[in-house]
């Protein structure tokens, strides 16, 4: 697996080998002329093992598709693109090590990936110190804030603030009573904070919050307490398997007859795992749903390419991040005519792209991708047109900075 390609800079143990082969190097002068043709390497750390493995695998498939599409068109300025996928094991320390390896050993030109708030912040820290471009594709509010801001980092995923703002806008009303069941870690806390803010703005009232440990299997003790709060909406702020387990048990307790279940992000894979009955009528946000293809041509093109490459399967929500993250970066590299860091950053800041879900661009101050947020409702089994026809698009919150926190609120110059 060791790359034998010579890096352009950086002292390493290869320096010793370089000394031995100094004579040979002279003969290899033509190699210098071909440096322009050097492959563009993109590092892709993602949790292939652990509770988010299903989402991670979708991300890899989509990211590989983006690379393939660009290579089929002849690459970038004649250079091929290569994706180096690494398992970060959903562990921030492991991710930091892997990113160091990608930068120091594999000499990647940019890093895309990570699927957890803590892990992406670790990758962000490593890339920031070394001036390497990083496109993060996992939800986080923290990464936008001034303390973690990096000139080299772009946040392609939605953030909890915009997700909850869009979901609340289409579900909360004046006087709605909302109860929250929240996973007790960064993701849950940030989602709750977003909903609370929207709640105050929309005139809804919170009637209670219950925190549950990350990875909990049993939610039965929480349900009677939530019911006694008599909410109109039960807002379940958790991710992955936790979401499926919590919704299933809420349904078993008959909560759906008394209240609407709302989640910040309605997950394709969890709906797939649990089936239509439990999820029926649940409303939540999403960055992408394949059903967009009826309305948006770029979604159709993305779906078709994905189907062709993956035996007819449709891309998922978190998978789509892998595609948009890598593809937007490659578009910017194309504009910049190569991998020069400053030029690529400038190109990313200027980029207007529509590659899967309608128009997107990176806001200049915090490098957050301004994009649409979908609000989805899970369909009844009888209404499903096909195997993968899970959701109905209730509303599309258009790409606008108005659902983001302002630059000054984040502590950044506008």
Binding site for another protein (CB under 8 A): 1-2, 10-13, 48-49, 53, 86-87, 89, 91-93, 96-98, 100-101, 104-105, 117-118, 121-122, 124-126, 128-130, 142, 147-148, 185-186, 189
Closest distance to another protein from the beta carbon of 172 (Å): 26
- Of 52 and 290, nearer to another protein (C-beta) is 52
CA 235 to chain centre: 21
Question: Are residues 370 and 400 in contact, defined by beta-carbon separation less than 8 angstroms?
Answer: yes
The pairing of beta strand 177-183 with beta strand 233-237: parallel
Q: DSSP letter at 184?
A: S
Closest distance to another protein from the beta carbon of 18 (Å): 13
Tokens coding 145? 């804030």
Closest distance to another protein from the beta carbon of 284 (Å): 22
CA 102 to chain centre: 20
- Of 56 and 166, nearer to another protein (C-beta) is 56
- Of 105 and 392, nearer to another protein (C-beta) is 105
Report the alpha-carbon distance of residue 403 to residue 4 in Å, rounded. Answer: 47
- Of 128 and 364, nearer to another protein (C-beta) is 128
- Of 127 and 303, nearer to another protein (C-beta) is 127
How many C-beta atoms surround the C-beta of residue 276 within 10 A? 17
Question: Are residues 263 and 312 in contact, defined by beta-carbon separation less than 8 angstroms?
Answer: no
- Of 94 and 389, nearer to another protein (C-beta) is 94
Question: Are residues 113 and 378 in contact, defined by beta-carbon separation less than 8 angstroms?
Answer: no
Tokens coding 12? 């390493």
Closest distance to another protein from the beta carbon of 339 (Å): 19
- Of 148 and 401, nearer to another protein (C-beta) is 148
Report the alpha-carbon distance of residue 306 to residue 292 in Å, rounded. Answer: 14
Place of tokens 């990096």: 150
Closest distance to another protein from the beta carbon of 66 (Å): 20
Closest distance to another protein from the beta carbon of 269 (Å): 16
CA nearest to 57, candidates 287, 263, 313:
313
- Residues of the chain by 3-state class (helix, strand, coil), percent to 5: 45, 20, 35
Q: Where are the beta strands (DSSP E) in 21-120?
A: 40-46, 81-87, 110-113
Tokens coding 197? 């803010």
- Of 118 and 266, nearer to another protein (C-beta) is 118
Closest distance to another protein from the beta carbon of 112 (Å): 18
Closest distance to another protein from the beta carbon of 136 (Å): 13
């Amino acid at each position: 697996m060791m790359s034998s390609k010579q890096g352009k800079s950086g002292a390493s143990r290869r320096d010793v080998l370089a000394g031995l082969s100094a004579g040979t190097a002279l003969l290899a002068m033509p190699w210098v002329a071909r440096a322009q043709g050097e492959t563009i390497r993109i590092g892709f750390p993602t949790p292939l093992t652990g509770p988010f493995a299903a989402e991670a695998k979708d991300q890899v498939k989509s990211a590989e598709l983006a690379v393939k599409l660009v290579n089929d068109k002849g690459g970038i300025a004649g250079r091929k693109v290569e994706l180096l996928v690494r398992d970060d094991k959903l562990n921030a320390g492991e991710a930091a090590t892997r990113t160091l390896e990608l930068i120091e050993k594999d000499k990647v030109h940019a890093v895309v990936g990570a699927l957890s708030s803590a892990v992406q912040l670790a990758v962000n820290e490593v890339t920031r110190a070394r001036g390497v471009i990083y496109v993060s594709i996992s939800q986080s509010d923290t990464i936008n804030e001034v303390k973690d801001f990096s000139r080299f980092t772009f946040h392609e995923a939605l953030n909890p603030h915009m997700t909850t703002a869009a979901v609340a806008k289409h579900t909360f009303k004046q006087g709605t009573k909302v109860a929250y069941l929240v996973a007790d870690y960064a993701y849950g806390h940030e989602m709750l904070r977003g909903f609370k803010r929207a709640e105050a703005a929309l005139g809804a009232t919170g009637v209670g919050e219950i925190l549950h440990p990350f990875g909990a299997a049993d939610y039965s003790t929480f349900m009677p307490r939530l019911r006694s709060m008599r909410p109109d909406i039960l807002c379940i702020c958790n991710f992955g398997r936790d979401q499926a387990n919590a919704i299933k048990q809420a349904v078993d307790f008959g909560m759906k007859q008394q209240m609407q279940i709302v989640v910040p992000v309605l997950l394709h894979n969890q709906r797939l795992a649990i089936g239509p009955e439990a999820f029926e009528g649940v409303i939540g946000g999403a960055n992408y749903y394949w059903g967009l293809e009826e309305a948006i041509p770029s979604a159709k093109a993305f779906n078709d390419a994905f189907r062709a490459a993956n035996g007819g399967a449709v891309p998922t929500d978190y998978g789509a991040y892998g595609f948009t993250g890598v593809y937007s970066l490659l578009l910017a590299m194309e504009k910049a005519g190569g991998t020069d860091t400053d030029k690529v950053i400038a190109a990313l800041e200027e980029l207007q792209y529509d590659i899967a879900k309608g128009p997107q661009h990176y806001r200049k101050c915090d490098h957050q991708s301004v994009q649409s947020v979908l609000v989805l409702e899970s369909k009844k089994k009888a209404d499903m047109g096909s195997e993968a026809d899970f959701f109905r698009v209730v509303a599309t919150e258009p790409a606008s900075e108005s659902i983001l926190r302002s630059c000054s609120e984040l502590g950044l110059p506008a």
